[in-house]
């Protein structure tokens, strides 16, 4: 099983706890970027964990990087951490390119995107690009043929139209108009649009797991301190149900994330990532509802921190594949397994799919 370097967890908890205070998160939302917070976090090297040192990363494992994202989600850290490291760094390093020193972002390949290469120049539009306005490099993965290409573009060479997600974090529209890439190379082995989406889903599941932890904590604290009818509202069974349902979703997603990471260390974990993101999306819906209901009106205010986590969960559940999209995906895997091996899929996951594919391949030859 994959284990995490304890120093990584400690560093992340300390720096995110110090930096992502309530007022710092509010300020980041108002300004669209938190340069001081980025500098502090970048100084620890955390954004580049899992990216090989040779490419300009911090080294470390995918499990370490996911743990950092989970802790970032717990603190509502408003920075492009996943985009810089396990998505952007992964794309660049895999393509044999060096990482620029600052924050990076990756275009998430929405269906509305029209980016293409013409004579080694970039044209078209990319939507919902996290923090495009603030980064040092925008990365786009373009479909082949013959192979998918990783393209790194200087934000100074594009037009950026500001847009935000439900949490007020930048999700900008980027217009490429004859932009000359800073770098361009064929993507690494196994890297394509599906692999990028899977990795993005793993990253979002990690931050969601963290946010779900915080939601459960806030709800527990609030319902223990808020008194009505002469006692803490947590004493009421109807309120306790909210606590229990929030805790269930937190635990379910925590283990799903761990399982997805574990499978990812052995190979492409298509099934585990799909199932984990699906569960996280559903958990976001359930847990935010219970947390808000338990909080009552105070939870709807700007001054109380609950919204830093519920708004992020509402955004993240829609990114890198929705619950429904992932349900279709897992459903297709289940149909591949068929009724006779359906349960083997539940216990074996991607390993079963790989063995079915290998058998199928043999059957055809």
Task: Give, in order, the Cα–Cα distances in Å from 190 to each of 155, 193, 279.
Answer: 27, 10, 25
Q: Based on CB atoms, which residue is closest to another protein, 142 or 218?
A: 218
CB of 241 to another protein, least distance (A): 5
Which residues touch 104 (CB under 8 Å, ≥6 apart)?
A: 80, 83, 84, 88, 89, 92, 135, 136, 137, 138, 139
Beta pairing partners, 176: 124
Q: Based on CB atoms, which residue is closest to another protein, 87 or 352?
A: 352
Strand ranges across the sheet with 104-106? 104-106, 137-142, 149-153, 183-186
CB of 150 to another protein, least distance (A): 30
Q: Are 155 and 138 in contact (CB under 8 A)?
A: yes
CB of 199 to another protein, least distance (A): 18
Instruction: Give the length of the chain.
Output: 365
CB of 331 to another protein, least distance (A): 3
Integer Cα distance of 118 and 262 in angstroms: 40
Burial code (b: 16+ CB inside 10 Å, e: under 16) for 145-162 equals: eebbbbbbbbbebbebee
Q: Are 167 and 311 in contact (CB under 8 A)?
A: yes
Q: Coil, helix or strand for 328?
A: helix
Q: Based on CB atoms, which residue is closest to another protein, 1 or 120?
A: 1
CB of 195 to another protein, least distance (A): 20
Q: Based on CB atoms, which residue is closest to another protein, 199 or 245?
A: 245
Q: Based on CB atoms, which residue is closest to another protein, 115 or 218?
A: 218
Q: Return the closest-CA partner of residue 194 out of 260, 270, 267, 257.
A: 270
Q: Are 158 and 174 in contact (CB under 8 A)?
A: yes
CB of 272 to another protein, least distance (A): 8
CB of 6 to another protein, least distance (A): 15
Integer Cα distance of 259 and 273 in angstroms: 9
Q: Based on CB atoms, which residue is closest to another protein, 45 or 348?
A: 348
**Where on the chain is the footprint of another protein (CB under 8 A)?**
1, 220, 224, 234, 237, 240-241, 243-245, 247-248, 251-252, 254-256, 258-259, 262, 272, 274-276, 278-279, 282, 323-324, 326-335, 338-340, 342-343, 345-347, 349
Token pair recorded at residue 350: 């991607």
CB of 326 to another protein, least distance (A): 7
Q: Based on CB atoms, which residue is closest to another protein, 117 or 334?
A: 334
Three-state SS sequence of 264-301: HCCCCCHHHHHHHHHHHHHHHHHHHHHHHHHHHHHHHC
Q: Based on CB atoms, which residue is closest to another protein, 23 or 237?
A: 237
């Amino acid at each position: 099983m994959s284990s995490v370097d304890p120093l990584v967890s400690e560093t992340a908890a300390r720096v995110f706890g110090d930096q992502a205070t309530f007022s710092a998160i509010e300020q980041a939302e108002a300004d669209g970027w938190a340069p001081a917070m980025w500098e502090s976090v970048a100084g620890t090297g955390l954004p580049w964990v899992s990216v090989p040192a040779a490419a300009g990363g911090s080294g470390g494992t995918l499990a370490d990087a996911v743990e950092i994202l989970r802790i970032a989600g717990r603190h509502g850290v408003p920075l492009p951490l996943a985009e810089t490291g396990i998505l952007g760094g992964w794309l660049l390093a895999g393509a044999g390119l060096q990482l620029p020193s600052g924050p990076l972002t990756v275009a998430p390949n929405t269906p509305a995107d029209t980016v293409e290469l013409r004579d080694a120049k970039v044209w078209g539009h990319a939507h919902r690009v996290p923090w495009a306005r603030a980064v040092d490099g925008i990365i786009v993965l373009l479909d082949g043929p013959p192979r998918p290409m990783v393209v790194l573009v200087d934000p100074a060479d594009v037009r950026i139209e500001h847009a935000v997600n439900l949490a007020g974090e930048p999700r900008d529209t980027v217009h490429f108009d004859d932009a000359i890439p800073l770098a361009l190379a064929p993507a690494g082995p196994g890297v394509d649009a599906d692999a990028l989406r899977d990795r993005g889903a793993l990253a979002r599941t990690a931050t969601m797991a963290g946010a779900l932890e915080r939601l459960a904590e806030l709800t527990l604290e609030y319902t223990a301190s808020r008194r009505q009818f002469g006692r803490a509202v947590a004493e009421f069974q109807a309120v306790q149900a909210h606590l229990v349902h929030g805790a269930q979703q937190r635990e379910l997603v925590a283990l799903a994330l761990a399982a997805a990471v574990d499978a990812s260390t052995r190979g492409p974990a298509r099934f585990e990532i799909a199932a984990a993101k699906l569960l996280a999306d559903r958990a976001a819906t359930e847990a935010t509802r219970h947390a808000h209901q338990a909080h009552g009106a105070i939870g709807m205010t700007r001054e109380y921190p609950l919204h830093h986590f519920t708004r992020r969960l509402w955004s993240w559940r829609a990114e890198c594949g929705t619950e429904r999209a992932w349900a279709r995906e897992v459903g297709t895997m289940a149909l591949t397994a068929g009724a006779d091996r359906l349960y083997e899929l539940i216990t074996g996951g991607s390993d079963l799919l790989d063995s079915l594919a290998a058998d199928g391949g043999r059957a055809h030859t």
